Amino acid sequence: MAPRQIKPQLLTLLVSISLVVTCTSANVWPTNGVCGARVRYSWDALAVDDKKLYRDAIATAMSTGYHALFVEVHSDKASFKEAHNTCGMMFWHRRYLLAYEEMLRSLGTRFACITIPYWDYFAEYAKFLANACSGFEDCSTFLKDMGGSSGPASSLLINGYTVNGNCVDGLSSPYANFTSFCEKSTMSGSSCSGCIPRGSWSTMNYPSGFCYSSLAKYLSLQFGFAWFSQNIHYGVHQSIHNMAMGAMASYPTSADPIFYSHHATVDLIHQLYFNCQIGRKLSDYEKKTGDYAFETCAQSDYTATPPTSMSTFTMYWGGTGQTRIPVESHPRIGRFFAYQPKEYWRYVSASDMGNISYTYAADDMFSLLQGEGLTCPKSNSRRLYEVNYVDVPVTADRKRKAVGRSFNLFQDIYGYARTTTTSHADAIDQGETLDCLWYDQNYGVDDFTPQFRSNWNLPSTAHTFCYNRVQDIRYGRRQVRVPDWRTKYRFHYFTMTDAQLATASDITTTDEQALIIANDSSTPTTSSVPSDPDASGAGTISPDTSIPDTPTPDPASPSSSPDTTTMGATTETPDTTTNPPTV
């Protein structure tokens, strides 16, 4: 049997990825105030001086009171609910992050070109499953660089909300300093805590649900914006807030600087979705009416009118004990919002917002996704079922090796699932489901904590994505259609050596089987799929909005009328180089 052939396009991509890793010693942010295009980078791609510059910008925002003022916007109840209980979530935070970024840029000439870095937790998850690291903090250069999670147990009152956690001052890292953090904007100096409450990240597993198949699902399936928004909301968005705990799991969640990079990643996925589903500049009319640009939805307990594409943002400043005002009217931070458009439809595409437009420099995982691992409806990319393993040099770092292993596993599972399922969507669904089963059998599937449920008013039926998938298998709502899936996981994560990964594109199916047989006795074993229908916690399902029964209209086509969807409704069948690629 002939080896799987690696295409020239992929070779070019891998060369560019290699250059991304080796060129990070060059600073990406000029400090002379002369800025080029606004581009957001992965934290892992930043040079040491860039990371220190970002540290100083955050510290200055805290010492000048600006950071606390922004926290008081996000923790305003009406603003928070529109930002988290409706399909406006990604648009609301797109505007909020732009204003915060503009505030950082205003703090001095050397900060004038800063952009909020994104946090590539998909690559970190790949490291976790490949046994390249041990948990949430250990797997994340970003979390460690942002000060980690060690600190004295504390209970702070942040803008009127009690927040518990390990109070972290950031000084254990050369890239963090939170000693000027104040719980509210009317505090200063020694009256402030000078630390951020966080969960005990060093003792936690990495959260589930960040596999390659999930990314492919979010971006490639054509079911409209409401479906996409809910999957992101109840998937990656909630899982990170839940696992981070402390301030991140409370109303004043933006008190923690990691919040901004978390939402930069969500925003990146939003932009990738737009590029993949639409892939062209839209007219104003299309932005206002297209089902793939925006759709209205809200949680069942949302009592206000949910935003439509034509709505203006509910975004107020509400410092505790002070008069609540529209954010544009605030005497200090109003200028960072006043120049921005106020209507939702104007934020459909980050790269098409006039003089506040911006792009993202794609990191390893996202580069592979764009270049090889995904068939976008509006592109001419190759078909996903052409399985081509990627080669990763023996000299590569742990992250790149883990990403390569994860990508190859995705292709292996997907390629087989295409022979046992009827559609691309079903094959993607298999990849997600099997990833959740693997996680559950090796680590025990995670779920929302009681504290997170209470703080964010989540119903008892709300669960993490992988919790739902494990229950689906347990009760027969889904079936495993890749019979040797555990063997494939063991092969890519444990059996394949680094030397074999370096020439993975040459491995034939026969070679793969021989390697599996030769190494089978030394590979880890896993428990069986849970089968007890009376197990504690089984039987309740919350938004697994994976694949609806009927696709929505062609991307960017006008809606006949505004459609208000209830968020969380379940469905029967689910659900760089110095100039790196941008999205």
- Residue 381 scores a pLDDT above 80: no
**Does residue 165 carry a pLDDT above 70?**
yes
Which among 56, 64, 86, 48 has a CA at the least distance from the CA of 257? 56
CB-count exposure of residue 152 (10 Å: 0-12, 13-18, 19+):
exposed
Mean pLDDT of 503-527: 71
Where do the domains of the chain lie, and which CATH numbers do they carry? 1-31+42-583 (1.10.1280.10)
pLDDT band at 325 (very low <50, low <70, confident <90, very high): very high
Answer yes or no: is pLDDT of 554 > 50: no
pLDDT confidence of 510, banded at 50, 70, 90? confident
- At residue 373, does pLDDT exceed 60? no
pLDDT at 386: 64
Angle of helix 212-220 versus helix 225-232 axis, rounded to 10 = 160
Calculate mean pLDDT across residues 292-309.
Answer: 90
pLDDT at residue 523 tops 70: no
Per-residue model confidence (pLDDT) at position 508: 80
567's CB contacts (< 8 A; 6+ apart) are 85, 86, 87, 230, 233, 297, 298, 299, 300, 302, 543
Tens digits of residue pLDDT in 13-54: 333 333 233 334 578 999 999 999 999 999 999 999 999 999
Handedness of CA 172, 175, 180, 181 (dihedral sign): negative
Specify the range with the lowest mean pLDDT, choosing from 426-430, 432-436, 561-565. Answer: 561-565
Give the model's confidence band at 378: pLDDT under 50 very low, under 70 low, under 90 confident, else very high: low
If DSSP codes are grouped into helix, strand and coil, which group holds residue 299? strand
SS3 assignment for 558-581: ECCCCCEEEECCCCCCCCCCCCCC
Higher pLDDT, 25 or 571: 25
pLDDT over threshold 80, residue 335: yes
Rounded-to-integer distance, Cα 274 and Cα 415, Å: 26
Structure tokens at 73: 């916007």
pLDDT reported for residue 363: 63
The larger pLDDT score, comparing residue 245 to residue 545, is at 245
* Residue 146 near residue 173 (C-beta atoms within 8 A): yes
Q: Which residue has the tokens 């790196």?
A: 580
pLDDT reported for residue 367: 64
Q: Give percent of the chain with pLDDT exceeding 70.
A: 81
Q: What pLDDT, on a 0 to 100 scale, did the predictor assign at position 457? A: 85
* Rounded Cα gap, residues 24 and 154, in angstroms: 37
In this structure, how many other beta carbons lie within 10 angstroms of the beta carbon of residue 255? 30
Q: Provide the 3-class DSSP secondary structure of residue 300.
A: coil
Considering the chain, what is the average pLDDT of its residues?
85
Q: Can you give the pLDDT at residue 384?
A: 46
CA 56 to chain centre: 25
Predicted local confidence at residue 3, as pLDDT: 38
Which H helix or E strand runs over 360?
A: strand 359-360
Give me Rg for the CA atoms of the chain.
23
Provide the β-strand partners of residue 154. Answer: 165
pLDDT of 151 > 90? The answer is yes
